[in-house]
Structure 1
Amino acid sequence: MSETVGISTLEGDATFDCYLARPAGTPKAAIIVIQEIFGVNAGIRRKCDKLAEDGYLALAPDLFWRIEPGVELDPDIEAELHQAFGLMGKFDQNAGIRDIEATIRYARSTGGCEKVGAVGYCLGGRLAFMTAARTDADACVGYYAVGVDGLLREKHAIANPLMLHIPTADGFVPPEVQQAMHEGLDDHPKVTLHDYDGLDHGFATEFGKRRNEAAANLADERTAAFFAQHLGA
């Protein structure tokens, strides 16, 4: 069962929409699904629905609500891709992390889940790293996270497990950035990195041209095992 719920900001001065998918029974835990630059579109909602099928309460907050609420874009349509990059340029990532934290609090209080994880894609992968460093999320996963080299100064604050999936031919994450990620994080006791040789950005998307079925399934299996271990499911 799915619905759209309103979540209060941490300041309590506004509310933003969040797609919520419920499992059939009592949730094992909650998982925040962090959008790409394309908004809470059909692919992100499908990620939530699949997590609900696996027994989790899944929540995808609309992180672009301050710019343009309800954005749903298709990366395979060139005009919508350009629109997404425009929204990304206006997006306040620090405010986005606060909205993710508000969603974590909602999952614990209203959702009744003691353990809360997060999984993000593209921009959401970067935000998953920031969530691991700046919130008390119990476990985080980032797929093809962008710009992590600029966040490595925050790695000391990562107290709970973090997994990152890195396609080696990612056009948005060049080899030198991937190298910096490995050099900065390989010895971190809470961080696990997985490389996917020859694959490009977006390989685990639910729909569209970017998906690589075998690699997406492998990454998702690793993510499922990671959450099962660290969310007590």
Structure 2
Amino acid sequence: MSETVSIPTLSGDSTFNAYVARPADNPRAAIVVIQEIFGVNAGIRRKCDRLAEDGYLAVAPDLFWRLEPGVELDPDIEPEFQRALDLMGKFDQDQGIRDIEATIHRSRGEMGVAKVGCVGYCLGGRLAYMTAARTDVDASVGYYGVGIDGLLREKHAISNPLLLHIPTEDGFVDKDTQKAMHEGLDDHPRVTLYDYEGLDHGFATEFGKRRDEEAATLADKRTAAFFSEHLS
């Protein structure tokens, strides 16, 4: 079952919407699904639906709501891709983390689960790293997170497990950035990095021409095992 719910901000002075997919039985845990720059579109909703099929309460907050509520863009349509880049440039990531934290609190409280994880893609992969460093989320997964080398100074604050999926031919994450991520995080006791040789950004998207079926299946299996271990 899916629905749209309203989540109060941490300050309590406003609310924003989130797509929620519920499992048939009591949820194993909750997972916050963090959008790409394309909003809570069909692909992100499908990610939520798949997690619900696996027994999780999946919640995808609309992080662009302060810019424009309800953004849904298609990366395969060039004007929409360019619009997404423009929105990313205007997006306040620190405020986005506070909205993710509000979603975590709502999931633990009113939605009635003990443990909450998060999984993010692209911009959401970066935000998943930031969530691991700045909140009490129980486990985090980031797919092809951008600019994480600039966040390595926050790694000391990561106290719960974090998994990062890194395609080696990512057009938005160059080799020097990948090297810095490995040098900064390979010895971190709570962080696991997986490389995907020859793959580009967006390989695990649900829909569209960016998807690589074999690599997406492998990464998603690793994510499923990770959440099963750390959110049980």
TM-score tier, shorter chain, comes to over 0.9
Alignment of 1:133-144 (within 5 A): 133-144=133-144
Q: 1:17 & 1:80 partners in 2: Cα distance?
A: 22
Pair 1:50 & 2:53 matched: no
The alignment's C-alpha RMSD in Å is: 0.2
Pair 1:131 & 2:131 matched: yes
- What does the per-residue CA deviation read over 1:116-174, in whole Å, with 9 as the maximum and x for residues that have no partner? 00000000000000000000000000000000000000000000000000000000000
Q: TM-score, length-normalised on structure 2?
A: 1.00
Q: How far 1:66 sits from its partner (Å)?
A: 0.2
SS in 2 for 1:6: strand
Partner of 2:66: 66
Structure 2 residue identity aligned to 1:149: D
Partner of 2:214: 214
Structure 1 residue identity aligned to 2:211: R
SS in 1 for 2:28: coil
- What does the per-residue CA deviation read over 1:23-67, in whole Å, with 9 as the maximum and x for residues that have no partner? 000000000000000000000000000000000000000000000
- Identity among equivalent positions (%) equals 77
Structure 2 residue identity aligned to 1:11: S
Q: How far 1:87 sits from its partner (Å)?
A: 0.2
Partner of 1:109: 109
Alignment of 1:175-190 (within 5 A): 175-190=175-190
Q: TM-score, length-normalised on structure 1?
A: 0.99
Which structure 2 segments of 5+ residues have no match? none
Q: 1:98 & 1:2 partners in 2: Cα distance?
A: 24
Pair 1:201 & 2:184 matched: no
SS in 2 for 1:80: helix
Which structure 1 segments of 5+ residues have no match? none
Q: How far 1:75 sits from its partner (Å)?
A: 0.1
Structure 2 residue identity aligned to 1:150: G
Q: 2:181 & 2:97 partners in 1: Cα distance?
A: 21
